[in-house]
Amino acid sequence: MINLLFFGRLGDLAKDAPTCIASSGLDPTPLTIRQLMMAEHPELAEALSEPQVLVSVNKMVVKWDQPLFNGDELAFLPPVTGG
């Protein structure tokens, strides 16, 4: 299983989204998981497609094509501003 975390406004959009996804049967990457969300969670998938959204695997920011493995934690990070 791959554990999914959604932060900021992405968490609000992900209320009904799964918190984990089975890694068997596919070559999971953050991109393929985003694509899986399209059918049942189109608003969330659209927000995840924004270019400012980052992904982290096991607390390290990675690219969208990063391979995922059983037990990984995948976090979707919204844009952050500050001052």
Q: Is pLDDT larger for residue 82 or for residue 78?
A: 78
The CA distance from 2 to 74, in Å, is: 7
Q: Specify the pTM.
A: 0.90
| Number of domains composing the chain | 1
Let me know if residue 33 belongs to a domain: yes
The CA distance from 24 to 28, in Å, is: 8
Confidence (pLDDT) at 83: 56
pLDDT tens-place string over residues 10-67 = 999 999 999 999 877 778 999 999 998 888 899 999 999 999 999 999 999 999 999 9
- Tell whether the model's pLDDT for residue 71 goes beyond 60: yes
Let me know if residue 50 belongs to a domain: yes
Let me know if residue 39 belongs to a domain: yes
pLDDT band at 81 (very low <50, low <70, confident <90, very high): low
Let me know if residue 80 belongs to a domain: no
The CATH number assigned to the domain holding 63 equals: 3.10.20.30
Let me know if residue 81 belongs to a domain: no
Let me know if residue 82 belongs to a domain: no
Range of the structural domain that residue 47 is part of:
2-74
- Other C-beta atoms lying within 10 Å of the C-beta of residue 46: 13
Let me know if residue 12 belongs to a domain: yes
